[in-house]
Structure 1
Amino acid sequence: MKRLGLFLDTVILLGLLLGLFYSSSQPYYKQDLRGTISRYVDADFLEQKWQHVSFQYAHKEISVEDSGAAGLIEFFIRKATHFVTFAVLAFMFYRLLARFTAYSTALPWSGFLSVLTALLDEWHQTFTPDRTGMLTDVLLDTTGIVTMMILIVFRRILRRGPRKKRDKIRLGQPS
């Protein structure tokens, strides 16, 4: 059963990495979701409701006025995908590394490998026509990675339950 788990974790991790590579290799026009979004969303209604929504991302204004309702929705879908994909990637690196190393080694290495993947992914995009690698996206990816690492730590704390008597003695507390 352990071999099957190892195999599945490896396949999922490799699938994620290959998916990232493929996605980064495609020019923007092949990934443009605005047409699909426009078919399912009432753009006029959203443009009226979101007319005052405006913010900066990577030194570029993001707003309904600039991108339209479909463009704004696509922006949030793309950024949510960054966050979630790299959170899952960190989790899969952790699951795989935890099979071979201690928790104290697996956790930081999973974070490091995930951030390295984010950097390489954005660098790879600089070679793709109509794409730009952005440090801001690496920071967003890192936010997803750190969030997953915090969840892993919380899960570990909750699974361990109350500290044992020997742990209190080791910490210098009276028994």
Structure 2
Amino acid sequence: MERAKRVVEMILLAGILAGLFISSSTPYGNQDIRGTISKFVDEETVSENWQDFSFQYGKKKISIDNNGVAGVIEFFLRKGTHFSVFAILTAVWYRVLRQRMSVAAALPWSAFLSLAVAVLDEWHQTFTPDRTGLVADVILDGSGVCTMLLIIAVLSRWKSRKTR
């Protein structure tokens, strides 16, 4: 049973890494979901209520005026995915590494490996047509990594206190 669990964790890790590679290899035009979003959102109402909404991400201003309603929604979906995938990647790295090392060693290694993947992922995107690698995305990925590290640390601490 334990061996099967380890194999599943390794397959999950390989699947996430392969998914990131495929995603980074896909031009933005093939990933653009603004048309689909427009079918489900009343853009006029959102635009009226959020017309003054804007913020800076990297070197770009994100706003309804610049990106359109569907573009802003897609931005949040894409960035939420960045955060979530790298949080999950960190948890999976931790599970895989925890098979061979202590919590104290597995935590920083899972962070390092996840951040290395984030940097390589953004670099890989620079070779894909219509894609750019952004330092801001690495920072966002890193926030997903740090959030998961905190969750793992708190749960590990709670579990160790519970077993005492």
Q: Say yes or no: TM over 0.5.
A: yes
Counterpart of 2:99?
A: 99
Give the structure with higher Rg (CA): 1
Structure 2 unaligned residues grouped into runs of 5+: none
Q: Deviations over 1:99-120 (max 9, x none)?
A: 1111111110000000000000
Q: Deviations over 1:128-153 (max 9, x none)?
A: 00000001100000000000000000
Q: Deviations over 1:8-60 (max 9, x none)?
A: 10011100000000000000000001000001111101111110101111111
Counterpart of 1:20?
A: 20
Structure 1 unaligned residues grouped into runs of 5+: 165-175
Q: How does 1:35-50 map to 2 (within 5 A)?
A: 35-50=35-50
Counterpart of 1:172?
A: none
Q: Deviations over 1:39-89 (max 9, x none)?
A: 111110111111010111111110001111100000000000000000000
Q: How does 1:4-153 map to 2 (within 5 A)?
A: 4-153=4-153
C-alpha distance in 1 between matches for 2:162 and 2:100: 26
- Given the two structures, how large is their TM-score scaled by the length of structure 2? 0.98
Structure 1 residue ranges (4+ consecutive) displaced by more than 3 angstroms after TM superposition: none
CA RMSD of aligned residues (A): 1.1
C-alpha distance in 2 between matches for 1:58 and 1:26: 21
Identity of aligned residues (%): 49
- Given the two structures, how large is their TM-score scaled by the length of structure 1? 0.92
Counterpart of 1:157?
A: 157
C-alpha distance in 2 between matches for 1:95 and 1:23: 24
Aligned partner of residue 137 in structure 2, secondary structure: helix
C-alpha distance in 1 between matches for 2:162 and 2:8: 32
Letter in 1 for 2:73: I
- Deviation of 1:162 (Å): 6.5
C-alpha distance in 2 between matches for 1:17 and 1:111: 15
C-alpha distance in 2 between matches for 1:22 and 1:43: 31
Q: Paired residues, what number?
A: 164
C-alpha distance in 2 between matches for 1:20 and 1:80: 14
Distance 1:96 1:162, change over 3 A: closer
